[in-house]
Amino acid sequence: MKETTRAHIRKQSSLIEDIVGVLQVLAETNLSGKEAIQQRLTQLGTRLDTISDTLREIEAGVDA
């Protein structure tokens, strides 16, 4: 595997770890309403979609 591919994967792993951290904080925080929680979850879902797309691109590049 190329070093650039490894670097891309490390970056995506770091982003996933950030999201896990946010989810842990979200679970421990008493947010003031359902809307706030839904908004945060929507934002995290969008970030995960972006990471997933990037990982697919990396995979396609490795297979090429």
The domain locations on the chain are 3-63
pLDDT tens readout for residues 5-62: 889 999 999 999 999 998 888 888 776 777 888 888 899 999 999 999 999 998 888 7
Q: How confident is the model at residue 63 (pLDDT cuts 50, 70, 90)?
A: low
With a cut of 80, say whether residue 1 has pLDDT above it: no
Give the pLDDT score at 61.
85
Find out whether 41 and 62 touch, Cβ atoms under 8 Å. no
Is the pTM higher than 0.75? The answer reads no
**CA–CA separation, 19 vs 34, rounded Å?**
19
Give the pLDDT score at 59.
86
